[in-house]
Amino acid sequence: MSPRIVLITGANSGIGLATAKVLAQASQEFHVIIACRSLEKGMQALNELKQDGITGNVSTVQLDVTDETSIQAAATNVQERFGHLDVLINNAGVASRHPDIKTRLQLCMDTNVIGPAVVSAAFRSLLLQSLNPYSIYVSSGVGSLALASDPTSKVFRGPSNGEAYRASKSALNMIMLQDWVESRDTPLKVFAVCPGFVRSNLRGTSEEERSGWGHASDPSISGNTILSILEGRRDADIGRFIHKDGSFPW
């Protein structure tokens, strides 16, 4: 059986790396490509997987979601190595608290919105060569307009200077919806996924920030949610904004 080729952006740490671990451990059918801004970070991630005893099919490719030349080169790399792509996981993201609102909006929109849109466009033809393709956008519950406007919601009141990240995830959801609409006459299955409140360096680099001040869950939870999609257990939710226990309103 030919391996299922999975490319994960921003996969050298956090949710991306945890997802790579989950998929590599789940089945030898997956060949996971760790895509990240530098090959050095990619090799470090591969070494971490080896140290954890993960012997699945894993490789790396350089891909900076804010650099169109890098994106096109990564797509060419995948084309030459595999001839197609079965799963694209747009996971790379940033959260900026820069004091200047224009700067933090530009940083978040470039990486969290424009980047995934350009990556999806670059890999679309490779996905459509797969018999069972998936396109997954890692979003966030804070990007739900319905939840953000509900005073009873946990995400009603966001952090100070957090509007750029929230706005970028709302915009990413629209990118995902447009991708789904344009793919309805194709085999491509498109999802937006909230990974949940898990350990991540998006909040900062200190242990307190990464762990959500002790409240964040292990990012393997996010990886298992994505695994459930790839195993077909969430096919009833194609075109929706899902989380591990159901779905969110837009």
Catalytic annotation on 140? yes
Catalytic residue among 120, 135, 139, 140: 140
Q: What own/partner pairs with CB < 8 Å and gap ≥ 24 does 141-144 have? A: 141/194, 141/243, 141/248, 142/166, 142/169, 143/167, 143/168, 143/169, 143/170, 143/171, 143/172, 143/173, 144/170, 144/173, 144/241, 144/248, 144/249, 144/250
Q: Rounded CA gap, 51 and 105, in Å?
A: 38
Catalytic residue among 169, 170, 189, 222: 169
Phi then psi for 103, rounded to 5 degrees?
A: -65, -45
DSSP designation for 158: P
Catalytic residue among 130, 165, 168, 170: 165
DSSP designation for 37: S
Q: Rounded CA gap, 240 and 23, in Å?
A: 22
Catalytic annotation on 135? no
Contact criterion met (CB below 8 Å) for 186 and 130: no
Catalytic annotation on 169? yes
- At 168, the amino acid letter reads S
Catalytic residues: 140, 165, 169
